[in-house]
Amino acid sequence: MQLPETLRRAIDELASSHDVRTLARASRELTASYQSGSLSSPAMDSAEHRAAYLLVRTPATYAACVHALRQLRDVCPDLSPSSMLDLGAGPGTAAWATSEVFPSLATVSAFERDPSLIEMGRRLMVASQNSALSSARWTQGDLRTKLPGDDFDLVVLSYALGELQPGARAALLNAAWQRTRQAFLIVEPGTRTGASTIVDVRRWFLDNGASLAAPCPHDETCPMAAGGDWCHFAERIERGSLHRRLKGGELGYEDEKFSYVAAVRNPVARASARIVRHPLHRPGHLQFTLCTAVGLQSQTVTKSQKDRYKLAKKSSWGDPWQAKSE
Ligand SMILES: C[S@@+](CC[C@H](N)C(=O)[O-])C[C@H]1O[C@@H](n2cnc3c(N)ncnc32)[C@H](O)[C@@H]1O
């Protein structure tokens, strides 16, 4: 997956005032800060760090949001949000992703603590042809205190909930859910810690009357977490030449792992299973690991199951699947 061309060009222009060596150092420091998992380490505390975030992290968080929003849209085909709130927006990544997946989007509100990121996000969005983005309303504020007073069709919290102390998270979920008219999506890194944050959010949703939409195909105990594993998905990101230089890598791509959960106000019909690992392609058959209401299951689809096999070949890690008893 790639960033939209307009966003990619606007990022290159914003980052062009920094030399590559400084950006590469800032990129390493960002990675170290995120890997340390420390909630108090200020990851984006200089112009170089913010520029490095745009170049190396925004393509990844954008791809994660697009993946999750597409899965949400597939489960809720009638969902066509006109307004969205991007919480802990950073440069507004989730809003860009929403405008990609939902052409119905007419108004964007972005909420962020850091005034420099707000300024950056505004400059990027002004470059967009999409009027929801170019007219976005930015609010500076703290997720732990007061959110915008309006209601929104869609609320997204992308790679931000995990930056709050665990004790502050439930109050934020409550405040954000109160402002959600239709759907609320939370995305976190696909690490053990990120996935465990998502399991907590899932529990919160179920305890507070929300209906799970994706990725969970059921409301039973998460079988991944129960088995000591962690539920996550992946998107392949194309790396441009500057991205490769900043990361010091040769590969033209990287895989972003992420965890997410999306809930809606009204119950929806879900497929009975979700593919939770890369399918194994074997001669004459395919093997899926599926999350189902009765736990993790392995299912084989053979060439002889013609239509089902055709569909299976097009299905990937993260897609829904209609499980059949074997
Ligand atoms: C890792 S960045 C994610 C940015 C963007 N949502 C994305 O997915 O690329 C986390 C963002 O959350 C913001 N943030 C963290 N704690 C916050 C708080 N208490 N109030 C408001 N924003 C906060 C940070 O300033 C940062 O922009």
Rounded to 5 degrees, what are φ and ψ at 294?
A: -105, 20
Specify the pLDDT at position 250.
73
Handedness of CA 179, 184, 190, 196 (dihedral sign): positive
User: Which protein residue has the closest C-alpha to ligand 1 atom 3?
Assistant: 159
Does residue 325 surpass a pLDDT of 80?
no
Specify the pLDDT at position 247.
78
For 159, half-sphere exposure in the C-beta direction (CA atoms, 13 angstrom radius) is: 25
Q: How would DSSP label each residue in 162-209?
A: GGS-HHHHHHHHHHHHHTEEEEEEEEEESSHHHHHHHHHHHHHHHHTT
The rounded Å distance from CA 159 to ligand 1 centre is 7
The rounded Å distance from CA 90 to ligand 1 centre is 5
Beta bridge partners of 281: 286
Q: Architecture of 5-264 per CATH? A: 3-Layer(aba) Sandwich (3.40)
The rounded Å distance from CA 278 to ligand 1 centre is 30
d(CA 235, CA 101): 16
- Tell me the best of 114, 172, 197 to mutate to test the pocket of ligand 1, counting ligand atoms within 8 Å of each CB and taking the most: 114
pLDDT (tens digit, 9 = 90+) per residue, 39-61?
554 578 899 999 999 999 999 99
Average pLDDT over residues 192-213: 97
Q: How would DSSP label each residue in 45-106?
A: -SHHHHHHIIIIIHHHHHHHHHHHHHHHHHH-TT---SEEEEET-TTTHHHHHHHHH-TT--
The rounded Å distance from CA 93 to ligand 1 centre is 10
Does residue 144 surpass a pLDDT of 80?
yes
pLDDT (tens digit, 9 = 90+) per residue, 214-231?
999 999 999 999 999 999
Q: Are strands 280-282 and 137-140 parallel, antiparallel or unpaired?
A: unpaired
User: Which protein residue has the closest C-alpha to ligand 1 atom 1?
Assistant: 159
- Token couple for 218: 């059921």
Omega cis (within 30) before 283? no
pTM here is: 0.95
Map tokens 């972005």 to a residue.
110
Handedness of CA 204, 193, 320, 74 (dihedral sign): positive
> What residue segments make up the domains of the chain, in order of their start?
5-264, 273-321
d(CA 93, CA 90): 7
